[in-house]
């Protein structure tokens, strides 16, 4: 089937273009990851792997790919890179948002903590090199390159993208809206009316985020999946679609900030001990304040989804369909 990358029109054009861009991003950053030159290389390669996985999941009805190009295998490679990337983010957040507000004693403890993160990343780097030089990853890369030279598709790939876009994106949007994480910190009365708690103390936010951390994390993951899936189809829709995508980006970023703080707290507790708050009282206050602010930011998103437009779910489905 002939591919038109300059003026994509049919399902095959979009699928091919998305795989080509993701593969290019992965290969472009691979050398920098192997040589451990800059943390940005690992971030960009990981993004490329995630986007490729999203393409394989989202566009699977159109694709005839080699068995070696498997989204789960690609996810495992991204996960290996993620362990190092997570430590990079911990160190970056600690130095960027908190470190300079600490006294000398607390800075010394944090220096020791960051040194441990660096040591862990030496082990993670060795694992990354082993994976990227390993047979499985090399076979995936070879298979992708070969497919891009001679792409194969299923029959549905010949349809205009506008005829299939709605069916491709709606299942993921539905999964996002059905997450319980939207309702954390709310109450539903006997008349099914939703109320969102107005004021949170530092302690209340801390307890809430600890108690509901799993479903908040699940919501963040679905928001990320939805963002990647929606990114694939931005050319198919108008401004309402882009506005909704920007909203999902905000969801992902705010919940991501909450998650980053939670991981930082867990790692500090693990490395320094359960009495870490006595050793780092100022850091404890700074992180708690930041978490409370992130939660207040999150409440605005909750308000929009749950109260300002009670029928937003149905509205968005109709918007996508009409805008197609």
Structure confidence by residue, pLDDT tens digits, 199-229: 778 888 888 999 999 999 999 999 999 999 9
Q: Are residues 151 and 170 in the same domain?
A: no
**pLDDT exceeds cutoff 60 at 142:** yes
The predicted pLDDT at position 197 comes to 80
Tell whether 151 and 194 lie within a shared domain. Answer: no
Question: 238 and 126, same structural domain?
Answer: no
Q: What is the mean pLDDT of the chain?
A: 90
Same domain, 116 and 188: no
- Tokens 């939805």: give the residue: 226
Confidence of residue 242 (pLDDT cuts 50, 70, 90): confident
Nearest to 41 by CA among 84, 75, 76: 84
Of 156, 177, 212, the last residue of a domain is 156
Of 223, 213, 214, the residue nearest 246 (C-alpha): 223
- CA 196, CA 303: separation in Å to the nearest integer? 8
The least confident of 58-62, 175-179, 303-307 is 303-307
Q: Are residues 151 and 169 in the same domain?
A: no
Q: Are residues 92 and 149 in the same domain?
A: yes
pLDDT of residue 318: 53
30 plus 92 within the same structural domain: yes
Do 118 and 145 belong together in one domain? yes
CB 192 within 8 A of CB 135: no
Is 188 found in the same domain as 133? no
Same domain? For 151 and 168 the reply is no
Is 92's pLDDT higher than 70? yes
- SS3 of residue 187 by DSSP: strand
Among the listed residues 128, 138, 131, 133, the one whose alpha carbon sits nearest the alpha carbon of residue 37: 128
**What sign has the CA pseudo-torsion 239, 240, 244, 245?**
negative
Number of compact structural domains in the chain? 2
User: Is residue 183 situated within a structural domain?
Assistant: yes
User: Which are the contacts of 92, defined by CB distance < 8 A and separation ≥ 6?
Assistant: 39
User: Which ranges constitute the DSSP H helices of 97-200?
Assistant: 104-132, 135-149, 161-177
Residue 191 pLDDT exceeds 80: yes
pLDDT, position 204 = 87
Percent of the chain with pLDDT over 90: 73
**DSSP string covering 204-227, please?**
HHHHHHHHTHHHHHHHHHHHHHHH
pLDDT at position 37 is: 78
| One domain for residues 177 and 152 | no
In a domain, 6, yes or no: no
Asked if residue 4 belongs to a domain, the reply is: no
Structural domain ending residue among the three candidates 94, 121, 156: 156
- Split at pLDDT 50, 70, 90, the class of 323 is low
Asked if the structure places residue 1 within a domain, the reply is: no
CA 52 to chain centre: 13
**Tokens 């070696």 — which residue?**
68
Q: Locate 165 and state its tokens.
A: 């876009």
pTM: 0.88
Predicted confidence at residue 319, as pLDDT, reads 55
Residue 227's domain comprises: 164-323
C-alpha–C-alpha distance, residues 200 and 202, integer Å = 7
pLDDT for the residue numbered 199 = 78
**Residue 210 forms part of a structural domain:** yes
pLDDT band at 317 (very low <50, low <70, confident <90, very high): low
Assign residue 109 the CATH number of its domain.
Answer: 1.40.20.10
Last residue of a domain, one of 137, 156, 175: 156
Average pLDDT over residues 239-264: 91
Domain assignment of residue 96, yes or no = yes
Say if residues 160 and 4 touch (Cβ distance below 8 Å).
Answer: no
Assess whether 138 and 229 both reside in one domain: no
User: Is 3 inside a domain boundary?
Assistant: no
- Per-residue pLDDT for 260 more than 60? yes
Residue 98 clears pLDDT 60, i.e. is over it? yes
Residue 175 lies in a domain: yes
Give the DSSP letter of residue 191.
Answer: T
């Amino acid at each position: 089937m002939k591919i038109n990358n300059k003026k994509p029109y049919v399902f095959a054009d979009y699928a091919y273009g998305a795989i080509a861009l993701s593969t290019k991003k992965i290969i472009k950053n691979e050398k920098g990851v192997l040589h451990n030159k800059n943390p940005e290389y690992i971030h960009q390669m990981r993004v490329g792997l995630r986007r490729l996985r999203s393409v394989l999941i989202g566009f699977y009805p159109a694709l005839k790919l080699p068995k070696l190009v498997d989204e789960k295998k690609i996810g495992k490679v991204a996960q290996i890179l993620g362990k190092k990337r997570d430590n990079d983010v911990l160190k970056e957040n600690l130095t960027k948002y908190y470190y300079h507000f600490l006294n000398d004693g607390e800075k010394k403890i944090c220096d020791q903590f960051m040194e441990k993160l660096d040591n862990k990343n030496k082990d993670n780097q060795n694992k990354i090199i082993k994976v990227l030089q390993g047979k499985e990853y090399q076979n995936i890369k070879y298979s992708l390159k070969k497919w891009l030279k001679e792409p194969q598709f299923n029959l549905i790939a010949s349809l205009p993208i506008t005829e299939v876009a709605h069916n491709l994106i709606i299942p993921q949007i539905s999964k996002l809206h059905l997450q319980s994480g939207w309702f954390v910190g709310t109450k539903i009365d006997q008349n099914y009316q939703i109320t969102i708690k107005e004021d949170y103390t530092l302690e209340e936010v801390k307890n809430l985020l600890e108690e509901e951390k799993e479903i908040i994390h699940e919501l963040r993951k679905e928001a990320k999946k939805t963002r990647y899936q929606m990114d694939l189809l931005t050319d198919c829709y108008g401004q309402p679609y882009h506005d909704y995508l920007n909203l999902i980006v905000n969801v992902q970023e705010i919940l991501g900030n909450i998650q980053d703080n939670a991981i930082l707290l867990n790692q500090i507790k693990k490395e320094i001990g359960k009495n870490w708050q006595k050793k780092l009282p100022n850091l404890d206050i700074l992180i708690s304040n930041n978490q409370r602010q992130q939660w207040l930011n999150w409440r605005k998103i909750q308000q929009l989804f749950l109260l300002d437009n009670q029928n937003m779910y149905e509205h968005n489905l109709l918007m996508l369909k009409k805008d197609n």
